[in-house]
Each structure stands twice: as C-alpha cells, then as structure tokens.
Amino acid sequence: MSRFKIPQIAPSEITPEYIWTSRRTWLKHVGAAMGAGVLSSLPLQAWGREGISYGQRNPEFGADEKLTPEEDVTTYNNFYEFGTGKEDPARYGGDMRLQPWKVKVDGEVLRPQEFDLDDLLKLAALEERVYRMRCVEGWSMVIPWNGYPLSALLKAVEPTGNAKYVEFITDMQPDAMPGLRSRIIDWPYLEGLRLDEAMNPLTLLVFGVYGKALPVANGAPVRVAIPWKYGFKSGKSIVHIRLTEKQPETSWVRIAPHEYGFYANVNPDVPHPRWSQATERRIGSGGLFAPRLPTQMFNGYGEQVASLYSGMDLSRYY
Ligand SMILES: Nc1nc2c(c(=O)[nH]1)N[C@H]1C(S)=C(S)[C@@H](COP(=O)(O)O)O[C@H]1N2
Ligand SMILES: [Mo]
C-alpha cells in the first residue's frame, strides 16, 4: 500500500533495546540535574513507527490557525501518570514501553477484538487535522494531529443496540510512570464519551503530531483528541476501549464531581467553581503579557457538535 513508505531505520532498531533504554535513563538523570532548560535538547521518546506516512493536512480543519510551536506542544503537557508538573511527561517519559502495543476493544460490541498497533493503523487512512485544544485550567494550543476518525474503529467492532457510551482506559506501567505512586487519581486514567459523541467525525484517534509519531508526553502510541471538550476528556496511551450501556465513572468526575462533569464541553458561560472559563491563554504566543483570548462555545466547533446537545441544560450537564 502506498500509505506505507519504505521504512527508515529508527534509532530504536539499530541500537539494542536495552542500550537505547538506558541511554534515555541516563539522559533523563542528566536532564533533571541540569534543570528545565535542557528539555528541548532531549530526544523525545516516540513510539517507533518511523517509516509510515502520517497523512496529508486536511484543509477543512483549522486552515487559518497559527500553530502552537512543536516544542511547546511536546514539552508543556498534562499527563499525571508522569507527575503533575507540565514538564514531567517530557522529562520522565523515557522509560515507557511502547512495543508491543495492543488495544483491546470490547463490551457492548458484536466483534470484540484486540488490535495490534499495526492493525489499528491500517483500519483507515491517516490525515493531519489542526485542532484547537482547550485545557480546563485556562490555556489552549493549536495542534496538528495525525490520525483518523474514531468512528472507523467503532464501526469495525460493531456496537450492539445496548451500547450507549465509550470508555477509554490508559495503560499503567508502574516502573515507567512515577506519577502512579501518587493517589490523586484512582488509576488507571479513565475517560469516556456518549456513543454519538464518539462517532462524531471530529473525534479523532491520534497516532502522531506534527507529522511524526506521538511522543510519550502526548500519549504515545495512541490517544484520542476531542477538540470541543476540555483537554482532560482526551485520554492518552490507550490500551482498552470499552463500550457500555451505563455512563462511565470517569477519573475527573470521581475526583471532584462538583468541579468536573462527564460532558466537559468547552463553555465560556459556565465557570468552573473556582475560576472563570470566559478567556484563555494561548501557549507559545507572547507569554504572560499576551492578551487572553475569548473562549468560544464548544471551543468554536458548535456547527459540528451543538446538535448533539439540543434540549440539554448545559449548566446542569457541565
Ligand atoms: N492518561 C492521561 N490522559 C490525559 C491526561 C492525564 O493526566 N492522563 N491529562 C489530560 C489533560 S488535563 C489534558 S489538558 C490533555 C493534554 O494533552 P497534551 O499534553 O497532548 O496537550 O491530556 C489529557 N489526557
Ligand atoms: Mo487539561
């Protein structure tokens, strides 16, 4: 197939795995000792499918947006499995095991399956889409993701008539994820969508960013991106997708149900109990002195998704 170019040789293939891993461990310690400034010069561990094409930019998505610099996208992250600091995922992600990687898809489906990453990659053609991503903490980025609509995977497993929700469950690697030692979250990280939200063409299954394999910090080797919802809905490093009849008990709702809802649609009119959601700071554009931007309803994707919520009181279903 023409989608797959002749593989280039990744460093992981020419160096035995154990040497590669220990070099990263070494870099990690040196990096920590030298402080934050060294982060940008650290090689980012990605998932090692260097030979594939990540797809052409689809101009229907975000053509007019100025991209957040790649360095900010890959080193300013929330991925609590590696720690709560924004730089922790890039700094401590180097020991994560990314191969082999399997994603089990089961629950209310006629064809439960365990997909190898390579099989998952072949389900649909990858494309690049520029999405605005808005964190519940009040910052945002404009990110070129590489992936295909999650609906392609869901159709392949054939949801039953009982399927109403989809859960996304993140991997747990205690040796490689220092953040698992903290009890902030009842691990594993679990997020979910209503089935119609998951089937919406905007919901993307993501394998790459900026035309390259996802770095660990962004959820290697596979994550979801749901651009009209706060960032915490977009689960990373997914190993299990489960279709259910009942609404999942998602991680942030379990932590603080009065602060974080199951829907978590970006909504400037519904403040978080401790801060406003009316404006946002765009990462990588002028620092703390840059004017904050007005946050848009559904993060600007209302045309595509508002109909999913017609008749719902969005201040109650926040
Ligand atoms: N497994 C897991 N997924 C996660 C998180 C996390 O801590 N663990 N953080 C979420 C939050 S709060 C945000 S804002 C986005 C950030 O995605 P990015 O780092 O790729 O920009 O990831 C989300 N997915
Ligand atoms: Mo977030």
218 is in an annotated binding site: yes
Instruction: Give the pLDDT of residue 160.
Output: 98
Which tens digit of pLDDT belongs to each residue from 178-209? 999 999 999 999 999 999 999 999 999 999 99
- Mean residue pLDDT across the chain: 88
Residue 126 identity (one-letter amino acid): L
| Predicted confidence (pLDDT) per residue in 99-140, tens digit | 999 999 999 999 999 999 999 999 999 999 999 999 999 999
> Given a cut of 50, is residue 3 above it in pLDDT?
no
Of 67, 73, 79, best ligand 1 pocket probe by most atoms within 8 Å of the beta carbon: 79
The CATH superfamily holding the domain 11-306 is Oxidoreductase, molybdopterin-binding domain (3.90.420.10)
What DSSP element (H or E) covers 113? Answer: strand 113-116
What pLDDT, on the 0 to 100 scale, is given for residue 7? 38
58 annotated ligand-binding residue: no
For the Cβ of 47 lying below 6 angstroms from any atom of ligand 1, the answer is: no
Instruction: Specify the ligand 1 atom closest to the Cα of 237.
Output: 1
Listed residue (240, 212, 211) closest to 224, CA to CA: 240
Are residues 267 and 318 in contact, defined by beta-carbon separation less than 8 angstroms?
yes
Mean pLDDT, range 145-172, rounded to an integer:
98
What pLDDT was estimated at residue 50?
A: 59
Which residue's alpha carbon is nearest to atom 15 within ligand 1?
A: 231
Instruction: Tell me what pLDDT residue 49 has.
Output: 63
Domain parsing of the chain, residue ranges:
11-306
What is the structure's pLDDT at 43? 55
Q: Is 232 in the pocket of ligand 1 (CB under 6 A)?
A: yes
Residue 11 pLDDT > 70: no
Question: Which ligand 1 atom is the nearest neighbour of the CA of 78?
Answer: 9
Judged by its nearest atom, the ligand closest to the C-alpha of residue 208 is: 1
Mean pLDDT of 248-265: 98
Residues with Cβ within 8 Å of 98's Cβ and at least 6 positions away in sequence, in order, are 45, 46, 47, 48, 216, 220, 221
Q: Could you tell me if the CB of 140 is within 6 A of ligand 1? A: no
Q: Does 94 sit in the ligand 1 pocket, CB within 6 Å?
A: no
The yes-or-no verdict on residue 241 having pLDDT over 70 is yes
Determine whether the annotation assigns residue 280 to a binding site. no
Among 24-38, 215-229, 258-272, the range scoring the smallest mean pLDDT is 24-38
Residues 6+ apart with CB under 8 A from 263: 229, 309, 314, 317, 318
Give the separation between CA 56 and CA 69, rounded to whole angstroms.
19
